[in-house]
Amino acid sequence: MKFELTLLGTSGAVPAYSRFPTMQVLNVQETLYMIDCGEGAQMRFTDYGIRWGRLKQLFISHLHGDHFYGLPGLISSMGLNGRKEELTLFGPAALESMIRTMMPYMTKLSFEIKFQPIPQDRHELIFEDRRVQVFTLPLQHSIAAAGFLFRERQRPRSMRGELIEKYGIPYRQIPAIKAGADYVAEDGSNIPNELLTTPPPKPRTYAYCSDTVYSESLVPLVQGADLLYHEATFCERERPQAERTQHSTAMDAARIARQAQVRQLVLGHYSSRYKYLDVLLAEACQLFPDTLLGSDGGMVNVPLR
Ligand SMILES: [Zn+2]
């Protein structure tokens, strides 16, 4: 039951030290969801052995170039590969006109692109399939921006196999029991559901917050998340710069993680001024020890609990 994040790019606006701009892929039971699409996306997919042909939904947080310049190349290559399946782009409303303007200059596309404008000023359900629900997370940045919260669907309860035989339960009744029903045996006795089944694992959540200043209003929205990605463009020494450009420091990210009591924090969107990122990690760990320094190609697996 995979729930795994791969970071394809962890750089801020200006790529440096082999770090590509922001882009990620969340793999939920082998369905891939792409989050932001920095320049060089199709190359990063190849670098890390992920097949971009499998993407069906792509989520763009805001229209600063480092978060979507990878789209034209990726879409063109999908066309060159003869893709037939529709691709849905979730993002700010203006994304549609930008991509549509470029489409005549791409090799004739063999597939449809569906544009789904997202609200950036409120927390709202924007997508669901049988694996996940996706909600927006309003961010505070120099332009309108929204992060995304991926929440796994609640699984049904699990049947205790040994009791099927013991009570002679017909297989056709099992779906109802997994959904919560008791079993009434032939002699009329009632076998309670709690005895027949075990509770499902807790649905896992992933919260993506980039780009933003420290925003306390995020805390209730990402409360208890299994994994929180929070941008950490700067360290404390550059706090004035962070405030001026509406970005966060590593400590800001850690403060959100601590207040929201998330399980794990992963940092990214590093300024090109930092070759080594130890300072950012050390500062974040002072407030929130379960912090990981995100790196290009880094994977974070979220286990069931
Ligand atoms: Zn930005």
- 117 and 145 in a single domain? The answer is yes
Q: Are residues 101 and 245 in the same domain?
A: yes
Residue 255: phi and psi, rounded to 5, are -65, -40
169 and 217 assigned to the same domain: no
The two tokens of residue 205 are 């959540």
Say whether both 205 and 99 belong to one domain.
yes
In this structure, the answer to whether residues 143 and 172 fall within a common structural domain is no
Least trusted range by pLDDT, from 17-26, 89-98, 187-196: 187-196
Ligand 1 centroid to Cα of residue 71, in Å, is 16
Name the residue among 13, 3, 68 with its Cα closest to residue 35. Answer: 68
pLDDT digits (tens, 9 = 90+) for 212-241: 999 999 999 999 999 999 999 999 999 999
Give the distance (Å) from ligand 1 centre to CA of residue 258.
24
Residue with token string 């440096």: 16
End-of-domain residue from the set 146, 167, 198: 198
Question: Is 66 assigned a catalytic role?
Answer: yes
Rounded to the nearest 5°, which phi and psi values hold at 187?
Answer: -80, 5
If asked whether residues 117 and 166 sit together in one domain, one would say: no
Q: Domain span at residue 163?
A: 158-198
Residues 103 and 31 in one domain: yes
Query: How far does residue 28's CA lie from ligand 1's centre (Å)?
Result: 26
| 46/182 same-domain check | no
Regarding whether 37 and 101 lie in a shared domain, the answer is: yes
Final residue belonging to a domain, choices 172, 198, 224: 198
- For ligand 1, the distance from its centroid to the CA atom of residue 160, given in whole angstroms, is 50
> Can you give the pLDDT at residue 173?
85
- Among 198, 227, 255, the domain boundary falls at 198
User: Among the options 66, 211, 226, 252, which is catalytic?
Assistant: 66
Domain match, 86 and 192 both: no
Q: Compute the distance between CA of residue 202 and CA of residue 152 in angstroms, rounded to an integer.
A: 9
CATH of the domain at 238: 3.60.15.10
Does 43 lie in the same domain as 110? Answer: yes
pLDDT in tens, 177-212: 888 888 888 788 888 898 889 988 899 999 999 999
> Are residues 48 and 173 both part of a single domain?
no
Q: Look at the chain and report how many structural domains it folds into.
A: 2
